[in-house]
């Protein structure tokens, strides 16, 4: 099998105090932080395509357009489900929906690009 439109991925977490806006610095309330939801969504997308990459390849996120629609308290489970919606060369586009036990909490469009790991890291660390 290969990466194709319709490929799905999943990621799940239970919201802990460390995942709240007041702890991560994105607000002052004890609810699931938007940056944590973004990371969960990216993780679902990454995990869906990782098994299909060649040795020495990875993907990196290059774009995330996100809507956080509903607050989730500490203790609830959040699940992100990604679906590949387009492939353009090395660029893969995903639609991602996040839900807690009460329903949908967020939605995103996300783009990842396939990179050669060694070359990517070398270029990044050349900045030093």
Q: What is the mean pLDDT of the chain?
A: 97
26 phi-psi bin (left φ>0, alpha ψ -120 to 50, beta other): alpha
Query: Average pLDDT, stretch 82-104?
Result: 98
**Which pLDDT score, from 0 to 100, does residue 90 have?**
97
**Which pLDDT score, from 0 to 100, does residue 75 have?**
98
* CATH for the 8-125 domain, from 3.40.640.10, 3.40.47.10, 3.90.930.12, 3.10.129.10: 3.10.129.10
pTM, full prediction: 0.95
Rounded Cα distance between 100 and 106, Å, is 9
Radius of gyration of the chain (CA): 16
Return the structure tokens found at 3.
């990466």
Provide the edge-to-edge strand list for the sheet that holds 57-68.
Answer: 8-14, 77-88, 91-100, 103-116, 57-68
Percent of the chain predicted with pLDDT > 90: 98
């Amino acid at each position: 099998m290969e990466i194709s439109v319709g490929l799905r991925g999943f990621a799940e977490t239970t919201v802990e105090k460390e995942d709240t806006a007041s702890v991560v610095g994105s607000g002052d309330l004890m609810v699931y932080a938007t940056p944590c939801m973004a990371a969960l969504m990216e993780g679902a997308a990454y995990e869906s395509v990782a098994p299909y990459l060649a040795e020495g390849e990875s993907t990196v996120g290059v774009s995330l357009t996100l809507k956080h629609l509903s607050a989730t308290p500490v203790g609830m489970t959040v699940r992100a489900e990604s679906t590949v919606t387009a492939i353009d060369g090395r660029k893969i586009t995903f639609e991602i929906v996040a839900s807690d036990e009460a329903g949908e909490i967020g939605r995103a469009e996300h783009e990842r690009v396939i990179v050669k790991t060694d070359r990517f890291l070398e270029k990044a660390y050349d900045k030093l």
